[in-house]
Chains A and B, each alone.
Chain A
Amino acid sequence: MEYALIIGAKSDIGRALAARYARAGYNLYLAARKSEELTREADNLRIRYNVRVATLEFDLLDTGNHEEIYKQLSPRPAGTICVAGYLGDQKIAEIDFSEARKIIDTNFTGWVSLLNIIAEDYESSGSGFIIGISSVAGDRGRRSNTIYGSSKAAFTTYLSGLRHRLHSSGVVVLTVKPGFVRTRMTEGMDLPEKLTAKPEEVAEDVFRAHRKARAIVYTRWYWRWIMWVITRMPDRLFQRISI
């Protein structure tokens, strides 16, 4: 069976996706920083799903290594699932550019570096899939996440461009826009319980959208409509609400 490469495999959404794809029979490459901590998860997936699992060290910010790391994967992964991301601290990012840069480079620049390499490979072999976990935060900028939101907007736009570019080569590109998800990233935040998904739900939505070769999936589904309203709100009204 084919391999799927999961980048950001230690994240809660990454773990859920790894389990979902393993359940579907995919072998896995799990990539993260401090990859020795992935051993536990690799054992777990092998026992639960009887698939092959390899782990690798990967840092989105280490763009100099990306090509080498990708080229040494054998067999090449049939698909790449991009999960890693950095929310950062908005307040710090407003006054300290290095924090802003880290947010931008993790959520956008790093992916451009890696996905350019992978797109090239998939395009020439005429197959493959790319799934990018962006965010509803990229749909419209808000004061509480100017940097994170715009970095996700850039990532969304990049994925949309890749989809356009790779369409004719038969490569599928799926953009995922989660709303609130209960994970380490949102731990301790006061999220509305009714609107907050579990990582497993996100994974299921992603897997189904991928099966159906969708271009964009909101998860949970109603975020499409919430964002439809938010993106169409006239500026004068938008300025007055605090979200």
Chain B
Amino acid sequence: MELTNWGRYPSIETTLHACRSEGDLRAILSDDKKIIPRGLGRCYGDSALNSDILSTLHLNCFRAFDEGTGELTCEGGVTLEDILYLFVPRGWFLPVTPGTRFITVGGAVASDVHGKNHHAAGALSRHIRGLKVMLASGETIFCSRDENEEFFHATCGGMGLTGIILEATFRLIRIPTAFIRQETVRAADLDEIMNLFETSSDWTYSVAWIDCMARGGRRGRSILMRGEHARMEELPGRKIAEARMYGKNSHMTVPCDFPSLSLNRFSVRAFNEIYYRKTRHGISRSITGLDAFFYPLDGILQWNRIYGKRGFTQYQFVLPKESSREGLDTILGVIAEFGQGSFLAVLKLFGKQEGLLNFPREGYTLALDFPIRDGLFEVLDRLDAVVLDYGGRHYLTKDARMAKETFHKGYPNAGRFAEIKKRYDPDGKFQSLQSRRLGI
């Protein structure tokens, strides 16, 4: 079958093997095909693509839950949506969540996803207490910070290249209500938004939408959103009855591929202008639902179609904190000049983190979408060079095109990862289009 991930680029012919038990997995692994595990295919590029793919979606059992501590053990194919529906009404929430709930736990661990609380809570790996993984040999092992430690660190953020994550154990966090107390603050330029991130460091959640088409003195103008889980007494009266409710929301579906003309520099500029202006000066406060705060895009199913048939790519990088100011300024300049930026550009300040293939490190990360066009990759190559110059790197789970050298410069620990992988997967059974392209 023809398959793509979320960016709908690239697209390849594959065989998808569905697995319902460890026995099924072993049977597939015993063949000498190269294979990559796949969850919900929400990575944007080619991380979860290969000519043979192992789908984990049927491996979706909850295995244990401790009502006292919130410790949950579930299989790799359980989705974040599943967890939320079950546990939010019981007063629990994910310790870390990305901007969509349509992903699996296995995919979340393999990309070591981060959320709006990275500066406070780290990436998901910080919360993982243990993993059960099936190796290329068909053997299963447990790993954690105390047991098979190296393998544990390689598997968190390891992009499915060390083995199949069968089960993960982590603690949910207690929440008082299913609402967020949110503040929205407008920032006129880059200095202002960077200042805001610094002064918002006590907030649990913070993220900014940035207008990457703004030029001159407006370069970097943004809207910061910061939030805390709302306490019961902070809810307006009419919301108290639904304080713990979390149900299936209504949503729209994008019915077809938009013609690629519909997103051009004019429409994006106009959108950005309106979006920026609709936020008032100063601070606006509100109480919003978890979905509206964490998953605004999940309300529109298949929104990836708005970029047209050729698909799109999300460009996400992080710069070290020291060089962020200058680096962002330069990069925003190149993007505005190129004039093909997207509505959805997101800026965030990460806290400290180390790792092998894990993406986050202390500094600013910027993510934006580009529809695939002729000439796009040349521009992105130019951006890559700037990102590397400033000591940054790119997020593997979003990438579909970077060069091998770019990857290796950005990830100095890639060699250590490769050594560990070699020990646990000597024949290189787990491979993806991406791992071959980047020589991981």
CB pair B21–A37 under 8 Å, yes or no, is: yes
B62 at the interface (CB under 8 A from A): yes
A140 at the interface (CB under 8 A from B): no
**Contact of B75 (CB < 8 Å), options: A10, A12, A40, A48:** A40
B390 at the interface (CB under 8 A from A): no
Q: Would you call the interface of chain A mostly helix, strand, loop, or mixed?
A: helix
**Chain A interfacial residues counted at CB < 8 A:** 11
Q: Which of A37, A40, A184 has the most chain B CB within a 10 Å cutoff?
A: A40
Nearest-neighbour CB distance to chain A for B142, whole angstroms, equals: 16
Q: Which of A10, A12, A44, A47 has the most chain B CB within a 10 Å cutoff?
A: A47
Q: How far is B63's CA from A187's CA once the two chains are assembled, in angstroms?
A: 26
Contacts of B15-39 to chain A: CB distance below 8 A = 18, 20-21, 23
CB pair A44–B20 under 8 Å, yes or no, is: no
Q: How far is B24's CA from A10's CA once the two chains are assembled, in angstroms?
A: 13
Question: What residues of chain A lie closer than 8 Å to B75, measured between beta carbons?
Answer: 40
Q: How far is B63's CA from A41's CA once the two chains are assembled, in angstroms?
A: 8
**Chain B interfacial residues counted at CB < 8 A:** 13
Q: How far is B58's CA from A44's CA once the two chains are assembled, in angstroms?
A: 13
Contact mask for chain A residues 127-148; partner B; CB cutoff 8 A; 1 contact, 0 none: 0000000000000000000000
CB pair B18–A40 under 8 Å, yes or no, is: no
Question: What residues of chain A lie closer than 8 Å to B60, measured between beta carbons?
Answer: 44
B86 at the interface (CB under 8 A from A): yes
Nearest-neighbour CB distance to chain B for A165, whole angstroms, equals: 36
Question: What residues of chain A lie closer than 8 Å to B61, measured between beta carbons?
Answer: 40-41, 43-44
**Contact of A48 (CB < 8 Å), options: B21, B23, B58, B62:** B62
CB pair B18–A47 under 8 Å, yes or no, is: no
B240 at the interface (CB under 8 A from A): no
Residues on A lying within 8 angstroms of B by beta carbon are 10, 12, 37, 40-41, 43-44, 47-48, 184, 187
Q: How far is B76's CA from A40's CA once the two chains are assembled, in angstroms?
A: 13
Nearest-neighbour CB distance to chain B for A61, whole angstroms, equals: 20
Nearest-neighbour CB distance to chain A for B73, whole angstroms, equals: 9
B65 at the interface (CB under 8 A from A): yes
Q: How far is B307's CA from A17's CA once the two chains are assembled, in angstroms?
A: 39
CB pair A184–B63 under 8 Å, yes or no, is: no
Q: Can you list 5 A-B pairs, Cβ within 8 angstroms, ordered by A?
A: A10-B20, A40-B75, A47-B63, A47-B64, A187-B18
Question: What residues of chain A lie closer than 8 Å to B21, measured between beta carbons?
Answer: 37
**Contact of B62 (CB < 8 Å), options: A12, A43, A184:** A43
